[in-house]
Structure 1
């Protein structure tokens, strides 16, 4: 049973999340203080951290920096009313695995938690996915192609991970949405096509084949 640490100073929100997670089969720890939250994440067997940005003592970005600085590698999902692009980028670049703006639907949050807690591929103790000369380090969230390190956003990395977990398989847009976003977008959305273009630009166009009428495939 996975344990989730909720670092959130708003009692109503913390209680709402904790109750929903327990109903979904998780155990939870709730801490309203950033300082104490860091200590819990270091000392307790935590599998994932839900981290509010606006905390009363130190903000969530500082909490995240301390966690990563002390070797805490578990997934961190940031929860915040700050939804600007600059804040999202700051969170992801600081080592967050996902960034969920408030208000949010609990079903979406739960889907993202399940996505982050998926087991690593069998026989891959190092946590590195490889295909041809492309590799993704699931622990450091870094991509490497042809010996060259490539910076990917959190969403780009997650989409690339879905492809590398299913090499040679044709993946529909719906499958890619579910795998990389953890929930369904408007079926008319072109978000998958946009992010595949980003991956082609950064990792190489020849990796990602378009299969007309069906979706995409990692070549």
Structure 2
């Protein structure tokens, strides 16, 4: 999944980003809630996780929840708070949040709740295109009875391509998705992962393939 994380406290943001990334998510993070709103208005995310420590931040949350709730991509919106009363959590849920947690909360529970919220959403292009699916529990690409083990980069790169199966995906978009924590990824790094993936797919006998789109990027082809 592609997750937008915004947390006002550095320690919380770094911890949550590490935990979500280790669970095979592409995580874009910021400490600024309004910049997060700007990103959400201009890019698609599967989930938005908002972490706030102080009660003073609640007013700001109400200001942006309405805009987030109206996003066309309909991301799951999960809020994790340092302190809040049950009444305040109920208000946030009525304002547009899908889930609200108060410390002490579990990152694992938050991650599983996001998956539950997305389970019935229009996520996973394999349903519509006959493309393979990805199993985050085993870190494998699955095509029928065939299961292909992947590295974290390979998993994220295929996930990004799957979002537009049988259509070109730009190299810059692939780079941001598969290397969200880095701003200096060389084109050769992308080429290396794609080359390694092609070898794995061929050796496993997969029907889908990754084609090069000259001067643009790559395409996951299922036909």
Report the TM-score, using the length of structure 1 for normalisation: 0.50
Query: With CA pairs under 8 Å and 6+ residues apart, which has the higher RCO, 1 or 2?
Result: 2
Report the TM-score, using the length of structure 2 for normalisation: 0.49
